[in-house]
Amino acid sequence: MLLEISLNLTEEAEAIRKVVAHSMDEGVVTEDISEGKAYKTSEVGSWLAENL
């Protein structure tokens, strides 16, 4: 919301939403929302950056 509303970066915000959805579909998530294998926060962050 910060990117969209405050900074008017709608394309960037959509790209982040898409990569986060993709990580969830692939099961690349942290322990708090994992239903199986969990990743460290740094691992998820790296995965997101590599797939953005």
Instruction: Please report, in tens digits, the pLDDT of each residue of the chain (52 residues total).
Output: 899 999 999 999 999 999 999 999 999 999 999 999 999 999 999 999 999 9
Residue 25: predicted pLDDT: 96
- Contact yes or no for 15/52 (Cβ under 8 A): yes
- Contact yes or no for 13/4 (Cβ under 8 A): yes
Question: How far is residue 4's CA from residue 50's CA, in Å, rounded to a whole number?
Answer: 22
Rounded to two decimals, what is the model's pTM?
A: 0.87
Residue 27: predicted pLDDT: 96
